[in-house]
Structure 1
Amino acid sequence: MEKRAILTPEELQAYMDESTISLSQTYIKAPEVLKVGDSVLGTLGNFSVSIGKAKSKKTFNVSAMIAAALSNGSVLHYRAQFPEDKRFILYFDTEQGQIHCQKVLKRITKLLNLPEDADPDNLLMVALRKYDPNTRVAIIEALIGTMPNVGLVVIDGVRDLLYDINNPHEATAISSLLMRLTFDKQIHIHTILHQNKGDENARGHIGTELNNKAESVIKVEVDKDDKSISVVESVLSRDRDFEPFAFCINEDILPELVEDYSPTEKGPGRPKKPPFDPYFDISESVHRSALEVAFKDGSIGKYQDLRDKLQEGYESQGIKMNHNKAVALAKFLRNKRMILQDGRQNIYNPDFVY
């Protein structure tokens, strides 16, 4: 246990002067800077969290959020309203290398039809993968403290600011840091954290700590009925929850709103596990190898021929395919744009985004 600080009378008085709440004082309501529709996602002086499992497209989702803040406008269902002196954005990525971070940066500019060969004036993206957790924290704190006009800070991979995701001391230290920085600098910080594989909870003690302290928590997950789309919904909010919305990845590899999306109603009792799921039951590398076999002779015309070739390709990778599985697989591959249709021809797209 850490040694408890002993305050001098002067230090205690300073804390009291700064922290005492009085009925004689006028406190200004925090500006609402990020919304989903009419629901408040983020205010200056607070932080929010995105959670989701692997491959749920969390980074695609936050790209849309940053694009909205960059334009101080609307992208997908995100609406940004930052004051003129709070228009600078810091985007920290702790997981990806420089090439992948650059792809994300290009995606943000493409969402706004900005030049792809020029850095936006009010956005700085920093890749922190190579550093240890203490150095990452030091860089984040220093840049927030020195860059002028910062209004939004995104930390994609808040888990990587800790050595041990289940260490309560580290988790409390990071959540306290976020609360201090947002309050002192009057900014909004949005963090991203993985969910546990086996349940819906944010990972580790840091997940519990952030859930308890965050202004809002949103979840990004792959739709259970259509694996080509991701659904964004409110989990916790100090404001009213927003209606879930969905997005897909279009041919330009950008997040695109799915119009008129309505979530599937949940029935009573324990949900049935689907017998076959091409997205979760088959890895990306197996998909690629199987499709290379299936399309080794080029494009495929008739649907029945496509089904037969898919069965042949996937069975070459040790995955048995009956008729129903092949039908479900063909639909999935088309929805994910792993197979493209050109007239009556089916063409393998090796540049698909999984």
Structure 2
Amino acid sequence: MGFVDDCIMGRPAQDPKFDLSSLIIDLSKQLPDPQPIVRLWGNLIASRGNVSAVVGLAKSRKTFLTAAVASGFLSSSDFLGFDTPATGKVVYIDTEQSRAHVHKVARRILRSIGLPTNRNHDPLVVAALRELTPDRRKEATGEILRRYKPDLLILDGVADLCNDPNDLHESEALTCELMRWSSEYENHILCVLHTNPGGDKARGHLGSALLRKSETVMLVKADGDTSVVAPQYCRNEPFTEFAFRINAEVLPELCSIPASQPKEDVFAEIMETGKVYAHSELVELIREKLNVKESGAKMKISRAAKAGIIVKNQVGGYYLPGSQVEVSQSELHDEPF
């Protein structure tokens, strides 16, 4: 009899190789708290047996941040606020950059903590997997874990370990593999992901799946020459938002968070006082100014109207507060209905 017959007869199919006892929580035993791997100003952000993520747009300096995490783990004190009460090994895997650029990242980690950059150091292993196929990258990552058994694994470009980050089953399978690796090797795996243009959500089903399982999610946003790092999600106490910039030695250093610009600035810049704009016209102006998709522009217009930053009149036109100009229905040919 097969699985369906067993279900019909009330006898669930059983796998004799599946040991449930290892999955059941035994409340009679005392389990220690998760061992910290990385802290940020004393706040736990990464512990053994867990995964975390750094997310942000391209060129937001995510690699500088993850390199700083590696430096803090390897340092005898701290770096950029990151430190560890543990000792051990870091494996840094890059899937996007050329070997020459990955070489620079490795040397930057060593320079930041005062170690010689012209020789290898046992606590740091760096690998470049750009030339491999997604399946081979995943296989190579597993082999690197088995060989070096790092306490901290940084995967800069985790989406490149699967063929399609938008495939639900493949994304869930990779996320499960990452969690299995973190448990089996008792390490922490820090993954780097891109966010969607115009938003803060990590790309694809992989981004959604991985963020649900993450202990900490650090969101990086570029603001000119400064990058601002905020706690998007934390299972532990959230860390305080901070900013860094790249100094003359091409190393990240802490700096002040740039003053936030008023949200209405963008509308004040693109809209003339006393003029009413059709919805499609305003969408195009927003797209050109902020380099966002049509859906993102429409969302910004909707939120601005709800917040009173711009005003929508009865015939579907938009204008700045205090600058209403009457227009007829015939003047607006594309009401967003």
TM-score, scaled relative to structure 2 = 0.73
Q: Partners in 1 of 2:203 and 2:264 — Cα distance?
A: 24
Partner of 2:172: 172
1:253 aligns with 2:250: yes
Find 2:15's aligned residue among 8, 12, 16. 8
Find 1:77's aligned residue among 81, 93, 99. 81
Partner of 2:202: 202
SS of the residue corresponding to residue 218 of structure 1 reads: strand
Partner deviation per Cα, 1:202-231 (whole Å, 9 max, x = no partner): 1111111111111110011112xxx11111
1:28 aligns with 2:32: yes
Partner of 2:309: none
Find 2:50's aligned residue among 46, 53, 69. 46
Alignment check: 8 A CA contact 1:244 1:263 kept: no
Tell me which amino acid in the other structure corresponds to 1:192: V
Alignment check: 8 A CA contact 1:48 1:190 kept: yes
Aligned-pair CA distance for 1:57? 0.5
Partner of 1:143: 144
Aligned-pair CA distance for 1:179? 0.8
Q: 1:77 to 1:271 in 2, by over 3 A?
A: farther
1:232 aligns with 2:239: no
Aligned-pair CA distance for 1:275? 4.5
Aligned-pair CA distance for 1:46? 0.2
Alignment check: 8 A CA contact 1:73 1:81 kept: no
Alignment check: 8 A CA contact 1:165 1:171 kept: yes
Tell me which amino acid in the other structure corresponds to 1:133: P
Partner of 1:101: 102
Aligned-pair CA distance for 1:190? 0.3
Partner of 2:295: none
Partner of 2:133: 132
Partner deviation per Cα, 1:55-78 (whole Å, 9 max, x = no partner): 111111111111111225310021
Partner of 1:220: 220
Alignment check: 8 A CA contact 2:243 2:254 kept: yes
Q: Partners in 1 of 2:264 and 2:222 — Cα distance?
A: 19
Aligned-pair CA distance for 1:265? 5.7
- RMSD (CA atoms): 2.5
Tell me which moved more, 47-56 or 26-35.
Answer: 26-35
Q: Partners in 1 of 2:204 and 2:249 — Cα distance?
A: 35
SS of the residue corresponding to residue 81 of structure 1 reads: coil
Find 2:239's aligned residue among 236, 239, 242. 242
Partner of 1:189: 189
Q: 1:27 to 1:156 in 2, by over 3 A?
A: same
**Length, aligned pairs only:** 265
Q: Partners in 2 of 1:41 and 1:166 — Cα distance?
A: 27
Q: Partners in 2 of 1:274 and 1:233 — Cα distance?
A: 28
Aligned-pair CA distance for 1:181? 0.7
Aligned-pair CA distance for 1:271? 6.7
Alignment check: 8 A CA contact 2:166 2:206 kept: yes
1:62 aligns with 2:63: no
Aligned-pair CA distance for 1:8? 2.7
Q: Partners in 1 of 2:290 and 2:251 — Cα distance?
A: 24
Structure with max Cα Rg: 2
Aligned-pair CA distance for 1:155? 0.2
SS of the residue corresponding to residue 215 of structure 1 reads: strand
Q: 1:151 to 1:6 in 2, by over 3 A?
A: farther
1:91 aligns with 2:92: yes
TM-score, scaled relative to structure 1 = 0.70
Q: Partners in 2 of 1:211 and 1:129 — Cα distance?
A: 24
SS of the residue corresponding to residue 74 of structure 1 reads: coil
Q: Partners in 2 of 1:274 and 1:62 — Cα distance?
A: 37
Identity %: 31
Partner of 1:154: 154
User: Where in structure 2 are there 5+ consecutive unaligned residues?
Assistant: 5-11, 271-287, 292-337
Q: Partners in 1 of 2:241 and 2:76 — Cα distance?
A: 22
Q: 1:198-347 to 2 correspondence within 5 Å? A: 198-223=198-223, 227-258=224-255, 261-262=256-257, 264=259, 272=266, 275=269
Q: Partners in 1 of 2:68 and 2:129 — Cα distance?
A: 21
Partner deviation per Cα, 1:123-147 (whole Å, 9 max, x = no partner): 1100000001111111111121222
Q: Partners in 1 of 2:106 and 2:290 — Cα distance?
A: 30
Q: Partners in 2 of 1:72 and 1:46 — Cα distance?
A: 23
Alignment check: 8 A CA contact 2:228 2:257 kept: no
Alignment check: 8 A CA contact 1:72 1:81 kept: no
